[in-house]
A and B are shown apart, each in its own frame.
Chain A
Amino acid sequence: MSAFLERQTDETFVLNLGPQHPATHGVLRVKLLMDGEYILAAEPVLGYIHRMHEKMGENRTWIQYLPNTPRLDYLHALAYNQIYVNAVERAAGIEVPERAEYIRVITVELNRVSSHLVWFGAFVMDLGGFTPLLYAFDDREHILDLLEELTGSRLTYCYFRFGGVSCDIDDNFITGTKIFIKRMRERLKMYRALVTGNIILIKRIKDNGPISEEMCRKYGATGPVARGSNINFDVRKHEPYSVYPEFDFDVPVYSECDSMARYMVRMDEIEQSLRIIEQALEKLPDGPFLLPKAPKVVKPPKGDYYQAVEAARGSLGMRIVSDGTNNCYRLKWRSPTFSNLSLFGEACQGMLLPDALALMGSLDLVIPEIDR
């Protein structure tokens, strides 16, 4: 606050983009120092939804912490499941059968598509077009129905277990997914015609919110934000985990550094996820879906472990410090949205307020993940 007070003159005023706001998608408060219509400085204030997930890890056993993981970022919950389960399995030396790995990849990529659909709908709604939101949610219902039939939950999935997944997929799921992939490709064509080609939208997001490559590196932004600024880094390709090396997919990278580039990166990522799901369904091996002798009590040996995974919002990281007992000693999440949001303060200087809101929409923020 003191930095703001110093810069205030007679010409400027402080505007509060309060915790309750239709455009911030969560409880985020941003203090803006404005000169008429232009933003001079911005300072996000966090902590309105801090729920102490990291402390809860210390009070629960390794298995009991599983339901906490999807509640961090509820839109791409299975990636958070995957990173925790992967980290503990690597630490404790638990092997996962191949069929389980393929099932994990299929469900994580389906969840990524649904997360990008929510972003797409919410972003265009912020810009004033209310209809694509409902079309995107119609598509997302199909994914949610598939995953509900499989796991029983629609949003916060607690599906992965140490040594595999909790139940097997059946033919219903496989046929349903194939029908969905075909339908989604048609819908992507429709979105391109309705939204991406629309001159009003193009004028709104082209050259809006430039985030240069060095700014990304300075603040540690990852994911579509960095890939829209010419940084070619995707954890699935550069630090592979699970069975990703067996799939053939591209990583979309655009170099224009504006909101249009970030938009196109995410739309291309939906297509690439559909490719991965198709290949995984073809190559799905038979076998057990859960280790037959899955340990009831998991105790990773003493040490410090780190795992990184590509979530829909960027490179997600998790650090586990174990002291050999049933509870973990320390658990730390590296949340991609936190780093993405930190560049908002510098990137929005000199912009008009609606342009800054468009920039915030293109960063794809989910506030519970920042505050944990």
Chain B
Amino acid sequence: MDTILQLINTIVNTEPFRAILYIVGMIIFVALNAAYLVLMERKVAGHVQLRPGPTENGPFGILQPMADGLKLMTKQLLIPDGVDPILFRIAPVLVMIPAIMGFVTIPFSDSIAARNMDIGILVVFAFATINVMGLLLGAWGSRNKYAVISAARVVSQNIAFEIPMLVIVVTMIMISGSMNLHTIVSQQSGGFWNWNLLNFTASPLMPAAFLILFTCMLAETNRAPFDIVEGESELVAGPFIEYSSMGFGLFFMGEYANIVIGCSLTTILFLGGWGCPFGLFPGIHWFLIKLYLLIFTVIWIRWTFPRTTFYGLLNLSWKVLIPISFVNLLITSAMLKVF
């Protein structure tokens, strides 16, 4: 699989073709993921709750996303009176485009990466933050006070959880010595004892750092148990209440695309990227296996726990996650100095 793609790469290595190939590939990957992750969520939810989930459309419900997509596209695109014309229309785009752009620097395997930048991590986080702005602009442009209240909450939630996430990422950069995602993964090659998750020579709190990054990733993408946005304002559906049909569809796809980016980052930083746990046959298949195991865990968590309150969420971030991540940073820098 890897060699075939390498062959294709060398044949079509002239710049325009390579870029176009990657653009088309990324968009197809994101679109397929966004569609089929919805199905995966419904099936996992069903089996956790002792029922089968969608089964009518195609065997095991394989064609269900097609039916959902068709339904969303044929609904009427309602634009309420008096909304801000530019902001209302641009907001879903602002949420979707950074999610796709975030895939630019993520290495799926040794040779499959759109661009191998030396500031890879920074690019991903730069794009991820635009997502929050998209939600806020959409809510403001909807001319609905409940949407503005929800969006204000989303912004404060996102800011509160960006801080521990970035502190952990800084810790990992310190350990690897470079921001290039390819280098970070290459340093974890070998068996699973080389993975950053079990890198106790750098810091004894590594598993805790993994948990903190995972939790922050859940909160950034507004997934349960932190889905105040979607569920808690039970009267009003959050910042995208005025959106219908494809506008809502784009927000939804953006959320699942963000989950995929978050899980890929966690795999790359902690779980060794495309490496095999026993060092035998590294390749893109291991990356995908680890990615989908993490996404399964995200869905599994959603259907097990109730929602936290808004103040509980902020308390968790400011009083628990930030102190522990700073302590981890100090310990790591001390141990790196010593060893």
Contacts and interface: CB of A to CB of B under 8 A. Distances in A.
Give yes or no for direct A-B contact (beta carbon below 8 Å): yes
Contacts of A281: none
Interface stretch (A122-130, A213-221, A224-232, A282-290): A122-130
A134 B51 contact: yes
Contacts of B48: 131
Interface in B297-331: 303-310, 312
A192 to B, nearest CB: 15
A128 B304 contact: no
Interface stretch (B161-169, B225-233, B255-263): B225-233
B174 to A, nearest CB: 31
B306 A129 contact: yes
B50 A124 contact: no
Given A128-B224, A128-B306, A15 B49 contact: no
B235 A21 contact: yes
Q: What is the size category of the interface that chain A forms with chain B?
A: 20 to 34
B93 interface: no
A15 B231 CA distance: 18
Contacts of B227: 128
A95 interface: no
Contacts of B303: 130-131
Nearest to A201: B306
Contact of A129 (B149, B305, B310): B305
Nearest to B230: A128
Contact of A127 (B51, B235, B304, B307): B307
A163 B26 CA distance: 75
A131 B304 contact: yes
The residue in B48, B303, B306, B312 that gathers the most chain A C-beta atoms within 10 A of its C-beta is B306
Contacts of B232: 128, 354
A259 to B, nearest CB: 12
A122 to B, nearest CB: 13
Contacts of A168: none
Interface string A138-181: 10000000000000000000000000000000000000000000
Contacts of B305: 128-129, 198, 200
Contacts of B234: 21-23, 126, 354, 357
A284 B234 CA distance: 48
Contacts of A22: 234
Nearest to A195: B306
Interface in A296-316: none
A200 B149 contact: no
Interface string B218-250: 000000110100011011000000000000000
B200 to A, nearest CB: 27
Interface string B30-63: 0000000000000001001111000000000000
Contacts of A128: 224-225, 227, 231-232, 305-307
A204 interface: yes
A76 to B, nearest CB: 25
Contacts of B51: 134
A37 interface: yes
Contacts of B306: 124, 127-129, 198, 200-201, 204
The residue in A126, A128, A357 that gathers the most chain B C-beta atoms within 10 A of its C-beta is A128
B317 to A, nearest CB: 14
B304 A129 contact: yes
Contacts of B224: 128
Contacts of A135: 49-50
A124 B306 CA distance: 7
Contacts of B50: 134-135, 138
A256 interface: no
A203 B309 contact: yes
A355 interface: yes
Given A354-B232, A357-B234, A131 B309 contact: no
A17 interface: yes
The residue in B49, B51, B225, B310 that gathers the most chain A C-beta atoms within 10 A of its C-beta is B49
Nearest to B146: A15
B154 to A, nearest CB: 15
15 contacts: A15-B235, A17-B235, A21-B235, A22-B234, A37-B149, A126-B234, A127-B307, A131-B49, A131-B303, A131-B304, A134-B49, A194-B304, A200-B306, A201-B306, A353-B235
Interface of B: 45, 48-51, 149, 224-225, 227, 231-232, 234-235, 303-310, 312
Interface of A: 15, 17, 21-23, 37, 124, 126-131, 134-135, 138, 194, 198, 200-201, 203-204, 352-355, 357
Given A194-B304, A352-B310, 15 more contacts: A21-B235, A128-B224, A128-B306, A129-B305, A129-B306, A129-B307, A130-B45, A198-B306, A200-B307, A203-B309, A204-B309, A204-B312, A352-B309, A354-B232, A357-B234
Nearest first, the 5 A-B pairs at minimum CB distance are A128-B307, A129-B306, A134-B49, A128-B306, A127-B306
